[in-house]
Amino acid sequence: MRVSRRSMLAGTAAGVLAPAVGLAGPAEAAGLTRRITIYAEALPNGRYGYGLEPGKATVPGPLLEIYEGDTLEIELVNTTDQRLSIHPHGVNYDTASDGAPLNASFNNPRETRTYTWRTRARAEASGGFWMPGSAGYWHYHDHAMGTDHGTAGLARGLYGGLIVRKRGDLLPSKQYTVVFNEMMINHEMAPNTPILEARLGERVEWVCIGYGSLPHTFHLHGHRWADTRTGMLSSATDNAQTVDNKNLDPGSSFGFQILAGDGVGPGVWMYHCHVQTHSDGGMVGLFLVRNPDGSLPDGAQDAIDRFKQHDHSGHEMPEARTHA
């Protein structure tokens, strides 16, 4: 089990970067089955979270990671007094692991239940077509708390990222889970939103997830990615679009790998929802690209200080009001 590096700036909320569960290396054979235990727990302030150890639940939950062809068996321990479940996107599961009350697939209060997620590679169909494999940047979430669609579970923090890789995929140095949910990022508003860190040139991986009932668009300053499975192009002639702003509406997810500060240098770069009322309201966080030696680049501390002092309550434009 590979656990990704945590990178947290002093003052940033805990749980920004949950430990990734790397379940198989590229050289390993497909078809492995790994077993983990996830604890669903009540947290302060009415939140709930998933964690890999008792008392360690976070919002978002741990970033889970498997390779195409492998199976993940999750023993979900419900330590709470609420009905809840775990429902994945992107992977195969039979109805008993659906995580939906429709299929009586949930944990009653204090109940433990096993959910099995399977994955597979693409398979040739007829006519030159291929049925797609499981590889992608996915997510998992409660589907049973509050309503039959887990609306209370989502509103209280029961969600996390899920990566299914193809063998041969590039592996990042750092990973970030960024969840846009109602007017929050990872259940926080600025300036309590995550400050995600890397050193200049590090290969970092973003897993972006949308929940709730509002439309969102994710924008990252100073960086861009291909609108493909990996965020990269698959050949010298790949005609995919390059984007730096992408819809992150409820239930959707995408991910991409970039080199921190590549072509733009170290510094503090905003990521935010581009819906103006949302960014003004606090849906903004920071991507801090440090110097190669780990030191803060010029101006970075000033930018962080500005961010931390900002109340995001908006400020009017008095002179201009006389024009309108």
Q: Is 139 exposed, middle or buried (0-12, 13-18, 19+ CB in 10 A)?
A: buried
Binder of a second copy out of 30, 32, 36, 100 (CB under 8 A): 100
**Segment interacting with a second copy, rule: CB under 8 A, options 3-11, 29-37, 51-59, 98-106:** 98-106
Q: Is 233 in the site for a second copy (CB under 8 A)?
A: yes
Position 192 contacts a second copy (CB under 8 A) = no
∠ Cα 3 9 15 (to 5°): 50
Contact segment (CB under 8 A) with a second copy among 7-15, 55-63, 69-77, 132-140 equals 132-140
Helix locations, 78-195, DSSP H? 151-156
User: Which region among 14-22, 32-40, 139-147, 191-199 touches a second copy (by CB under 8 A)?
Assistant: 139-147
Stretch of 17-25, 30-38, 194-202, 241-249 contacting a second copy, by CB under 8 A? 241-249
Q: Shortest CA distance to 289 belongs to which of 228, 222, 189, 215? A: 222
End-to-end CA distance of the chain, in Å? 60
How many residues contact a second copy, by CB under 8 A?
Answer: 117
Taking residues 155 to 174 in sequence order and writing x for each that binds a second copy by CB under 8 A, - otherwise, the string is: xx-----------xxx----
Q: Identify the residue among 12, 219, 260, 287 touching a second copy (CB under 8 A).
A: 219
Buried b (16+ CB within 10 A) or exposed e, 149-178: bbbbbbbbbbbbbbbbbbbebeebbbbbbb
Stretch that binds a second copy, among 5-13, 14-22, 193-201, 226-234 (CB under 8 A): 226-234
Residue list 289-308, contact with a second copy (CB under 8 A): 299, 302-303, 306-307
- Asked whether position 230 contacts a second copy by CB under 8 A, the answer is yes
Least Å distance, CB 288 to a second copy, is 11
Burial label for 85, CB within 10 Å (0-12, 13-18, 19+), is buried
Distance CA 220, CA 218 (A): 7
Chain Cα centroid distance, residue 215: 17
Pull the structure tokens for residue 102. Answer: 């429709």
What is the pattern of x (binds a second copy, CB under 8 A) and - over residues 110-129?
Answer: --------x-x-x-xxxxxx
Closest distance to a second copy from the beta carbon of 280 (Å):
5
173-to-20, 68, 197, 223, 252 alpha-carbon distances in Å: 12, 20, 11, 17, 24
Q: Please state the closest distance from residue 320 (CB atom) to a second copy, in A.
A: 6
Given a contact cutoff of 8 angstroms between Cβ atoms, the answer to whether 240 and 233 are in contact is yes
Q: How far is the CB of 207 from a second copy (least distance, A)?
A: 13
The residue from 236, 293, 294, 309 that contacts a second copy (CB under 8 A) is 236
Binding a second copy by CB under 8 A: which of 13, 30, 173, 280?
280
102 binds a second copy (CB under 8 A): yes
Single residue of 11, 25, 31, 251 touching a second copy by CB under 8 A: 251
Residues 2-41 that bind a second copy (CB under 8 A): none
**Residue 46 binds a second copy (CB under 8 A):** yes
The torsion of the CA quartet 319, 320, 322, 323, rounded to 10 degrees, works out to: 140
Residue 50 binds a second copy, judged by CB under 8 A: no
Task: Give the integer Cα–Cα distance in Å for 133 and 224.
Answer: 25
The amino acid that residue 128 corresponds to is G
Which is nearer to a second copy, 35 or 306 (by Cβ)?
306
